[in-house]
Amino acid sequence: MAVRLPLLTQDDEAIKEWTNADRDQVFKRIAYCYANNPSVALSVVASNGNISPVMNDTRMQSGTAHTSVGNQNTTNDGDAEYVQESSTGEPTSRTEATYDKIHETTSNPNLNWGQTSYPGNFEIPSGPKPVYYEGRTTGNPGTNGGYSIREMAFQDILDTFITPVVTHIETGNAGVFCGGAFFISTATTLSNCTNLGTVYTDTISDVNSFSSGSIGTSGTVQTGTATGDVDYQLFKNDGVEETYRLPLVIDYTSNGVNDPAGLREMTQTEFQAFFCPLIRQQIYNGTGNTLRYNINGSGTTKGSAMTDTRLDGSGTWNKRFVNANDYRSQEFPNGTRQTVETWTLKVERT
């Protein structure tokens, strides 16, 4: 089948094929409809999310403290009294927090139609299908050739109305065409989107929270405090309630299926009853339009990657004099922020 150009009314007195602007309005409306009741949805849970692995936020802590009794000379020989940097423990990583909060829920619309065929008005109360110009013919209708107006086949409807919207949801995030998309962002608010909550926070160690005066006895460490928080939020695109032009359909209501009354606009009720369940069913299990989310798997990246970062320095040597028999030394974290692990929300289309 193929992408068709649906027919619309023009100035209430003529028929035209839809323009790109008409198409975009309809796409936004279908996406908005899906966003109001998605068949594949993400949420934030306290723990045990079913698509997110355990994501650790780690940062650096000090190396272990070392204690020396010095060389027992009567004079303080300065740094020579302490365990030297070459023998002290390097700073090590610690887990600040763990996150496992992204949960996927699927809901089967359970349509009896939607995979290979779409019954007509007289088979089920689902409403008629949009029409299009078939193209110039050499036989009937029109003995000298003309344009035939036909109802779209089911695959035409998918190709024209549904598959492009699924592509927008798959590839976009906060855009007006992407209603029903879920994605990650470090923003707190985004236009036409709902912040569902924080799913991961990355921190690093505050190098100013480590002090020589806090160097403890041998084997102890200083954990310091966290700083530089980067919060990663899960967002849902709510779509936009766009004004749109209703496609024309064949009016079977007056004279029956074999003698239609002509063309009329699809009603808004028919539009909603037709396209809303159709896109829900297609995203749930339609061939080529099924969407499922994952972390670090296959598919299209949805928003910002979530990164665990740590300071990358080899440590700074520090010392503390307690008394003539207690000289303490320890290495504190230093360096610059570097990524050590990455988690990416993706959506896979099958």
The rounded distance, in Å, linking the Cα atoms of 277 and 69 is: 78
Per residue in 75-97, pLDDT (tens digit) is 677 898 999 999 999 999 999 99
- Give the global pTM: 0.90
Structure tokens at 1: 């089948």
Q: Indicate the average pLDDT of the chain.
A: 90
Reply yes or no on whether the pLDDT at 6 is more than 60.
yes
Contact 203, 337 (CB under 8 A): no
Count CA within 13 A, CB hemisphere, residue 6: 29
Reply yes or no on whether the pLDDT at 260 is more than 70.
no
| Sign, CA torsion 280/284/285/291 | positive
Domain locations in the chain? Answer: 7-349
Strand partners, 205: 226
pLDDT of 11: 77
Per residue in 153-203, pLDDT (tens digit) is 888 999 999 999 999 999 999 999 999 999 999 999 999 999 999 999 999
What sections of the chain are H helices per DSSP? 20-36, 154-157, 163-171, 268-285
pLDDT of 114: 45
CA of 290: how far to CAs of 180, 280, 287, 350, in Å? 13, 10, 6, 5
pLDDT bucket at 140, cuts 50 / 70 / 90: low
Structure tokens at 196: 């569902």
Per residue in 310-325, pLDDT (tens digit) is 999 999 999 999 998 9
Reply yes or no on whether the pLDDT at 121 is more than 90.
no
Q: CB neighbours (10 Å) of residue 63? A: 22
The rounded distance, in Å, linking the Cα atoms of 178 and 63 is: 49
Amino acid found at 28: K
